[in-house]
Amino acid sequence: MRAFSKVLRQRELAQAARQGASRPRQRRNPAAEALRSSVAEIRASGRPATPVDAAASASAAVPSRPAASAPAGRRVRPVAAQVIRTQVRSGAAVAGALHPLSNPAANTALRAYEERTMGAFDRIVPVLKRLSALQHEPDFVAQAQRLARAELGYDLPLPILETAWTSQLDMRTLYAWCVFEAYEQTSIGFFEADPLGAEAGSPEAEVFEAFLLDCGFHLLDVTPCADGRLAHAIAYALRLPFSAVRRRPHAGAMFDVENTVDRWVKTEHRRYREAIPNPAHADTRYLKTVVYHFSSVDPCHEGCAAHGSDDKAAAAQGLQRLQDFQQAVENSFCCGASVDLLLIGMDTDTDAIRVHVPGREGQTDLGRWLDARQVYEATRQLSPEAGREQIEQLVLQAAAASPDPGMVRLIARLIEHNLSQIDYVLQYHGGHYADAGHAERFIGVGIGFKEIHLRNLTYFAHMDTVEEGAPDLDVGVKIFKGLNVSRGLPIPVVLRFDYHGAVPGARERAVRHCERVKSAIESRYADLCGQGLLHTLLTVRDRDRPVPAETVSSSITFNTGGGH
């Protein structure tokens, strides 16, 4: 009982810290409060709440707020006030009834967030094309700024606009500048408005954490592939609260075993010292999950590049990496160390998942899985209650051996959540995405990016140094040579290193870390940088507070003139 009280006290302290953070947070609007009350009704009815239940529909009508200004001297590039557009392009919904276990309100909210955020990036090129046609007009600067404010929501940098009359408009620099601006707006909106309704301490996060513990797991650590087509795996495909899941993307889902062991040690140490999320003597396990991917539309070409679009290789190597991690923990600590493994495949064309249900002793059969699309068809004519019972039976039948009951409950919940995502793709994308391949907007390098939960927005290159993360980064650059460089556009790279604000000097070390990685990138891709075909934005973030990323410098600089 004392341990439980200590957990409650920790949550109270965390809540007080959030309320006392230096960046003021706006109160929730009445519509959001009303929708949050509806979550209680949903829970009373027996349907599991998803991370976006509380924010359903409200995310399409977030009230406008002034830009969250960074501390003095920390904003490098001038930016106008944040603009949150409430009008979104109407998605072409497919006629027909949704699955009985689907959550249409959550789908509406997620669609609004996707269109609003992705639209900020996708409007850039059309606006720049219009500017290109106007650049020799007498009042070009005034016209350009009016167009930018109307379409993008911010002013463009004057030094670029004012030199257009002497030479061609520097479209490469302007494009990168706009992408960086859109990223900054995305980060501000995510942490200020909590559009997914799943921040730390939120009802949705606490409900899932309690469910996870009840299933017998004290932490869910997920490694999806770094491919941008899986960037939304947590919040969309699995419908889990992002703050309650540890996410570490790597190319091919090939996570670093030693680093993951270190994170396991920190998790178990916290359970010993603080009883968070539960006491160390509690009979729960650390659940490590890999999400590999494949393509149902073009399996031979649009699968995982790190595995040569070979689905079997992606699954086999993902399982091997999981087993290496488990073996490392058991060899280093004890034979019965609390580590369980879960292998999930994801179709990047439909977002449907397939789960390799493990046996109680950890057995996983690579040739045996439960496909969410088959579950969808098998349960679409059933009532919600009967559907849930059928899902659990299908999970039991798909297991490699006699499964753990808690694992069965968790997998059944993940499958149920994924049914909503299958409907989401049916409603708004005609059953499968039009962009079967890569269509990322920028490369994210470093450690962090908690705010990125949208498909094909970012290619992640998770790393501490370029030397150790070179394979991941090279894959990203190769992708963007096809996406951008082939069209004469630069590769936008956002560097990010999160730090613990309570640790003295942590921010300064994070900034220096960014600068070292930036220098290594400029050296590795010197030709691209020299041609203005690769630009970097350096950002850091205090992970102990719900604040946006802070821009500290950029490769985009402007001469101020004057002097000798």
**541 DSSP 8-state letter:** E
Find, among 243, 240, 235, 239, the residue nearest to 201 by Cα: 243
Tokens 């290594």 correspond to what residue? 520
**243 DSSP 8-state letter:** G
Count of CA atoms in the C-beta half-sphere (13 A) of 349: 15
- Which pair of tokens denotes residue 543? 């992970």
Name, in order, each residue with C-beta under 8 angstroms of 229's C-beta and a sequence gap of 6 or more: 293, 348, 438, 455, 456
Find, among 558, 555, 550, the residue nearest to 74 by Cα: 550
Classify residue 505 as exposed, middle or buried by CB count within 10 Å of its CB (0-12, 13-18, 19+).
exposed
Q: Are the C-beta atoms of residues 287 and 255 closer than 8 Å to each other? A: no
Name, in order, each residue with C-beta under 8 angstroms of 179's C-beta and a sequence gap of 6 or more: 121, 124, 441, 442, 492
Phi/psi at 451 (5° precision): -85, 0
Q: How many residues does the chain have?
A: 564
Q: Is residue 104 reached through a cis peptide bond, with omega within 30 degrees of 0 on the bond before it?
A: no
For residues 407 and 217, what is the distance between their CA atoms, to the nearest angstrom? 9
- Which pair of tokens denotes residue 328? 């490392």
Phi/psi at 258 (5° precision): -60, -45
- Which pair of tokens denotes residue 110? 């997620």
Amino acid at residue number 538: L
For residues 143 and 120, what is the distance between their CA atoms, to the nearest angstrom? 20
Amino acid at residue number 9: R
Confirm whether 227 is a catalytic residue.
yes
Q: Are the C-beta atoms of residues 10 and 197 closer than 8 Å to each other? A: no
Single out the catalytic residue among 53, 227, 349, 472.
227
For residues 47 and 54, what is the distance between their CA atoms, to the nearest angstrom? 14
Active site (catalytic) residues = 227
